[in-house]
């Protein structure tokens, strides 16, 4: 099951980087045309959140430095995707809400797994730290 959590985390990270960078590098006119009344700034903020969340899904657990940040990032991405589902439904796109719904459910799975049964232990040193004279 640990392998499943790693694979899902890696795939989510790739998906969020791609989606987030798309929101960050697209022109304002392109975003406005696709926005259906949603402010372009909101897309930019979501893009930053998605890219940072993608980094947080993998980096802390992989390096075992502050691994508690991984479930925090996953929970943040879950809430971001829930907001995306609501936004998509409010502008009348039921089918467009499916992708963020799937990403949100998978993010919730990673948050649960990394917070509970498949948490990553923080890095420890095998040698005690001593003061050098």
pLDDT of 80 higher than 90? yes
The answer to whether 92 and 75 are in contact (CB under 8 A) is: no
Residues 6+ apart with CB under 8 A from 79: none
Q: Which two tokens stand for residue 80?
A: 């971001």
Report the pLDDT value the prediction gives residue 130, as an integer from 0 to 100.
62
Report the pLDDT value the prediction gives residue 38, as an integer from 0 to 100.
79
pLDDT digits (tens, 9 = 90+) for 32-79: 887 777 788 888 999 999 999 999 999 999 999 999 999 999 999 999
* Higher-scoring residue by pLDDT: 57, 88: 57
pLDDT of 131 higher than 70? no
Residue 66 Cα to chain centre, angstroms: 16
Mapped onto helix, strand or coil, the DSSP state of residue 55 is: helix
Report the pLDDT value the prediction gives residue 133, as an integer from 0 to 100.
54
The tally of CA atoms less than 13 A away on the side-chain side of residue 17 is: 11
């Amino acid at each position: 099951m640990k392998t499943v959590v790693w694979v899902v985390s890696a795939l989510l990270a790739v998906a969020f980087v791609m989606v987030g960078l798309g929101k960050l590098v697209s022109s304002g006119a392109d975003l406005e045309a696709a926005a259906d009344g949603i402010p372009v700034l909101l897309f930019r903020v979501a893009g930053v959140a998605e890219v940072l969340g993608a980094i947080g899904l993998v980096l802390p657990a992989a390096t075992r430095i502050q691994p508690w940040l991984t479930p925090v990032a996953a929970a943040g991405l879950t809430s971001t995707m829930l907001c995306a589902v609501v936004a998509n439904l409010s502008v009348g796109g039921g089918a467009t809400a499916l992708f963020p719904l799937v990403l949100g459910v998978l993010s919730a799975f990673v948050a649960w797994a990394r917070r509970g049964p498949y948490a990553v232990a923080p890095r420890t040193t095998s040698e005690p730290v001593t003061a050098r004279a």
